[in-house]
Structure 1
Amino acid sequence: MDNESSNVSQAEEIKVQANEAFKAHKYGQAIDLYTQAIELNSQNAVYWANRAFAHTKLEEYGSAMQDATKAIEGYYRRGAAYLAMGKFKEALKDFQQVKKICPNDPDATKKLKECEKAVMKLKFEEAISVPESERRFVADSIDYHSIEVEPQYSGAKIEGDVVTLDFVKKMMDDFKNQKCLHKRYAFQIVLQMREMLRSQPSLVDINVPDGSHFTVCGDVHGQFYDLINIFELNGLPSEENPYLFNGDFVDRGSFSVEVILTLFALKCMCPSAIYLARGNHESRSMNKIYGFEGEVRSKLSEKFVELFAEVFCCLPLAHVINQKVFVVHGGLFSVDGVKLSDIKAIDRFCEPPEEGLMCELLWSDPQPFPGRGPSKRGVGLSFGADVTRKFLQDNNLDLIVRSHEVKDEGYEIEHDGKLITIFSAPNYCDQMGNKGAYIRFEAPDLKPNIVTFSAVVSSFVFPSTFNNHFPPRKWMVAVNSSLCPFNPTSLDLLIANQKPLKRLLRYLGLSFEMALSTIIFGCGFDLNEITMVNGALARGSFDGIGAWRAR
């Protein structure tokens, strides 16, 4: 009995440490600590629920679902994981159970309504859908030549049908100053890209001549200013300086339109200068949830939403460099014996399925132990070093490069040096504090040289502006009604009245820190001042903010 009491006490102490790690955004460390607490006292539902929440922060929705089923709050956490994965029907069932248990919970009510709305939309789309063979592509209905460019437009222009380096540089400069590209030229770039991609196989072979180099980048996730930093560090793409961007160009970040148009324009300018692979976020389901669809609708138009979805279905699934390095966004397969010819034969011109080779290429992750296991994301699988070794041997390859996971240093070398994860979005989601990285291969030996870099300061855009699940307009009105007008006094008022404002924001699904950032932005402070405050927010240091306000 004394031993049991000691375990309970020790578990509580570890939980406190785990909570502190969670607050510091060290979600992997928090998961390890919650696991230790569970091993000491598996009957405490809070530990299971907290670990599930930490898994969702790392997008490990499969693991979150396993933990959630064992917790008192299991239905809620599992429903949130399903919701984040776009599995609205499954989420609806869980939130219906939550409502039965907690009928007056405002957050559960909100998420239940959200699921009901999403399921109704799915049913409507299914009712009006047509067979693939009868489907008309929006790309076939667009004639960009007929779109007039207004005389007052002063942005980048494509002369004729050829995308030039001068155009790309001008467009990138405009994007850096948050100026828009005219829709005529945006249509032209995306349509040319579609025609180019449709002719490529699902697995593309890349030849790097002896004495030349080749750069592989991982996820960018709409972080345009970090993309520009990569080019400043490593040079613009060209025939002499080629790149492969390994999927997940969009979502999460607030500049996904700028990122994708830049990458597409570079490909149109010189097809051999840049290669693009599909990631799991180049899909309708992810774009609906994680911001790209809303951003496209806001910056361009509804027609572009459909057009990008069509083009994403044309992206290749994998690349092989000099018959030695296999590059794919996610990972390997649930069965042995998959050959490169099998990947080339995949009919990729569709939305990603929930199982099979295409799904696993986009979604799978490595694991530190042998064999195969369930995916922590709930899609694809986890695979060990033995699976990696067998695939390389079967296909006479030396190395696998993949992306798909944020890493503290921007990269991780695993599976006895035979697998490298590369991630190129530093300070992911403006909160993870990670570095970004890219790999530079030199032919003929193709020894990987990994370069890491830190995030750059970008122009401030309110978090989740384009995320359909967190519409900012609604809560901006709520905060404005409490703190109108926006001014430095409002900032003092916000800091002084955290508790009531946190209650106000709770049902809106947003944090006090996000409210504070928006008040700061509304006060008209400059970028350096905002960066200082965001740094204090990341440290959880409101004393630091007070000192900043006093200066």
Structure 2
Amino acid sequence: MGCSSSSTGNKKSEKVLKATLVIQNWYRGYRARLKARQHYALAIFQSIEYADEHGQMQLSNFFTFMLENCSRARKEDPELVSRLFESTFQDIKDRQEYVGLIDVPDSYEGPRLEFPLTFTDINHLLEAFKQQQILHAHYVLEVLFETRKLLKHMPNFTHVKTSPSKEITVCGDLHGKLDDLFLIFYKMRSVLMPPVSINRGHATDSKKSKGDITVTSSGKVKSNGFPSQQLSKHEWEQVVDILWSDPRGRKGCYPNTSRGGGCYFGPDVTSKILNKYQLKMLIRSHECKHDGYEICHDGKVITIFSASNYYEEGSNRGAYIRLSYGMNPRFFQYRVTSSTCMSPLHQRVHAMETSAIRILKERIISRKTDLMHAFQLRDHSRSGKISIAQWAFSMESILGLNLPWRSLSLRLVNIDTNGNVDYMSSFQDVHIEKPVKEVQSTLIETLYRYRSDLQIIFNVIDSDHSGLISMEEFRAMWKLFRTHYSVDIDDSQVDELANIMDLNKDGSIDFNEFLKAFHVVHKYEKLNTSNAKFANYK
């Protein structure tokens, strides 16, 4: 009987152990799938962010080109040039004249500042920000002028010394996240030295005694005007390289195609530069990292990012570094949240993923015409279906977002049992709300795609700052936009759209209303009807 009981007990133990292993393996797989989905969502956010930066670089290059070739442009179209640069070629206004252009209404209830700022002003400003109040543009402009004045007198390189009794706290990009800054101050309240905030990078010097730190900051500009007037072309390229370059695993130095400016540099480039200047390490920021930091190039490059929840709640941790003499860098991670307790991982991943898919869908719908053409070129049988590989290639070639399209296909399109994609489903659940049915879809998509650039161009052309587009201003804006982007849309279409949108026929259009007319409608904002697909994607 004793032997039988023992045998039965052993079998039960084996079953319990097997069940435990099954549950453990399932949970590990489940966590791994959640992490993969989180990684894909981050990739979407970052790729679209870089694509937007690419567009901004193009627009900046365009205005620089216009300035450099202003004489020729003035001869070809004097009216357009006068609209663009009417105030540029006048005497530069001083600070008070610029600030005086923006009045603060009596109805404004936010903080009111006096310059130079006192500690009382700073405390007042911080308390206002804690209450989610917005600083009026008048005071924002004053702060920018004050900052510019201070930066002009600061050196390009700052040398900071450490000693056995002192530490230096190094922060990366904060992107205006005040709660993250307060958390850093709270955590380092016992540190003697204030944090050294960086935007792009700094390097530790192995030659100097006491562990000197060299911190790069923005360059000092002596003259007013545009960058092309301040710096030579070679110097301006150096500034762009400093601002927009990123480390990568591949050797060499090659163009940063994601951002549209700067370069990618490999571990060999890092070693060469550090050896040349007898430095140990490069610490830089400028890229959001899931854990708040990343170490690459054999430990010689550290990326530190201090803005937690940068893309979405739960998208990433923030981090900072403490450096002290004779010790390795120490990393401190955190995540600021308004909740009293952190929501479960699957909820955070779902919210983050839904937001990422939503903005990706907007980017897809803005290129619908181009994507349809690419799909149909590969649909030789006119079945409405193509292979996943063909679909992924088309998405990448048109959108240029460098995303794992095969993996994302499960969330973006319908796939049949043979593994073929119904490519029309790429545009399901979302559409651009057309202001007028008669206007061609290509025009709607183009205006939506470049709406931010159109806003910038309009603000330059709108010399009276009225916020209204006259028909002449609208045509001038479109002419400039079409020239820059080589968009093949007939002027008559634009005139038709402008005339129809001028509802009260007063000869002008409110540009904000114009942009809002191209609203992206999401049929399933929370994507709740895709639960079956969502379950498969897990």
TM-score, normalising length: structure 1: 0.44
Structure with greater contact order relative to length (CA < 8 Å, sep ≥ 6): 2
With normalisation by structure 2, the TM-score equals: 0.45
Larger Rg: 2
